[in-house]
Amino acid sequence: MTTSKLRTTKTKRSSKAIKAKGLEIDVQSADIIGIDTPALVVNLFRGVKKPGGVTGAVDKALGGVITQLIKDGEIKGGAGETTLIHTLGKIRPRRVLVAGL
């Protein structure tokens, strides 16, 4: 797992996707656990002990790994903090990026 500070860049928005320096972000409405993507981004606010919403659904599907990393102090949910989790085939996305807000 990797934890780092988020870097921001200026981007141009289109109706279908956001592109920045070779990175394309596609926003979809779908079953979050079943999306075929290299990386899925979920959010976490500072002080949250047990994630809810989409982050909670991903945590549950991963067997509580996000909750355990919060307990271990590995994830704090601070603004700009990111933690990359490899899913090891437990869900279709190959990695989950937890972004602190």
The pLDDT tens digits of the residues spanning 67-89 come to 999 999 999 999 999 999 999 99
Mean pLDDT lowest for which of 10-24, 42-56, 75-89?
10-24
- What pLDDT does residue 76 have? 95
Q: Between 24 and 43, where is the model more confident? A: 43
How do beta strands 2-5 and 12-13 pair? unpaired
Residue 64 has pLDDT above 60, yes or no: yes
How do beta strands 95-100 and 40-44 pair? parallel
pTM: 0.72
Mean pLDDT, rounded, for 50-55 = 96
